[in-house]
Amino acid sequence: ECFMVLSTQAQKISIGILCGLFGTMCVFENSLVLYLIFSSPGIRKKPSYLFIGSLALADILASIIFVCSFVNFHVFNEAGFSKEVFLLQLGGVNTSFSASLSSLLLTALDRYISISRPSEYKLLMTRKRAWTALGVLWVTCATIACLPLLGWNCCVLDSSCSELFPFVDDNYLSGWLCFTMVLLGCIIYAYAHVLWRARQHVAYMEKHQAQVGKQNTRMRMDVMLAKTLVMVLAVLVLCWSPVLALMIYSVFARLSDHLRKVFAFCSTLCLLNSMVNPIIYALRSKELFSSLRRVFSHFRRQLKATEESPEAESTHKSSAIET
């Protein structure tokens, strides 16, 4: 109960509204992204969009598990569950957010290969290798997230506990933070190289504007997707920096009640990050945007046909009566 830091009703209502709004929008938007990817044969065959689909799936799972457990704990103050149940919920949230970050890493590596070795890209990045990489990603994230449930917690080891998460060992939290920092470092390095090559491609296209061909089109697509994913990375860093900074600070020093309340509110920024990603895809990816327009056009046609069908039926009945 000492981890339930929201003391006033206004704080609980604010957290509940933020989680409900961000969580609902996140599930809807990412579900739409998954539908657009897997309903289009041309899009789902590309490894780049398989990784984006993995990111969307991870964000959906993270939103559902995080909102349910977070609101139940901090707003409704439900603490009547066992240690195993809490660690299982925490493992689900940890798995989903780690898979989200790891999917960004795979997407970064995919863009790195595409823009640095374009002639060999289709041979190096096949659908089979993409699915294998995704399988390894999810199994690794789930294994790391379940370590506290399997025994690496402060109750079993009788060690120092984290001030932010019940039952979590400080050493485990330090290890998870190191794992996250390594992922972020690899993503930043890959995108730094992608941006450097993208600038070279932009300079090349400006120099050879008269040349119009498949290679120029491919370069434009690579540059566009690289810029899109850099925007995703920028949003990720902005949303996760406060949470990670407070986690690191908690490993080396004691946190006041005020900082723990700040951490609770900053945690909702992770949901905001998951909500913003699909918006960036829809606005920046021409293929997803075209697929979205086709879905809306099909929906409008169906809606129009549904509205017109009663009129047609009544006309048919009246003509039958006259006959």
Distance in angstroms (rounded) separating the CA atoms of residues 252 and 176: 15
Question: How open is the CA angle 174-176-178, to the nearest 5 degrees?
Answer: 70
Q: Which one-letter amino acid corresponds to residue 245?
A: A
Residues 22-48: what's their mean pLDDT?
87
pLDDT of residue 309: 61
Lowest mean pLDDT among 122-136, 255-269, 283-297: 283-297
Whether the per-residue pLDDT at 34 is higher than 80: the answer is: yes
Give the model's confidence band at 323: pLDDT under 50 very low, under 70 low, under 90 confident, else very high.
very low
pLDDT of residue 139: 94
Coil, strand or helix at 1: coil
The string of pLDDT tens digits covering residues 58-95 is 999 989 998 888 888 777 766 666 788 888 888 998 99
Residues 191-210: what's their mean pLDDT?
70
pLDDT of residue 218: 54
User: 9-285: which CATH architecture?
Assistant: Up-down Bundle (1.20)
pLDDT of residue 316: 47
**Residue bearing the bigger pLDDT, 142 or 7:** 142
Exposure pattern of 101-134 as b/e (b: 16+ CB <10 Å)?
bbbbbbbbbbbbbbbeeeeebeeebeeeebeebb
Whether the per-residue pLDDT at 198 is higher than 50: the answer is: yes
The string of pLDDT tens digits covering residues 86-114 is 888 889 989 998 998 898 889 888 888 88
Whether the per-residue pLDDT at 312 is higher than 50: the answer is: no
Distance in angstroms (rounded) separating the CA atoms of residues 234 and 237: 5
Q: Which one-letter amino acid corresponds to residue 62?
A: A
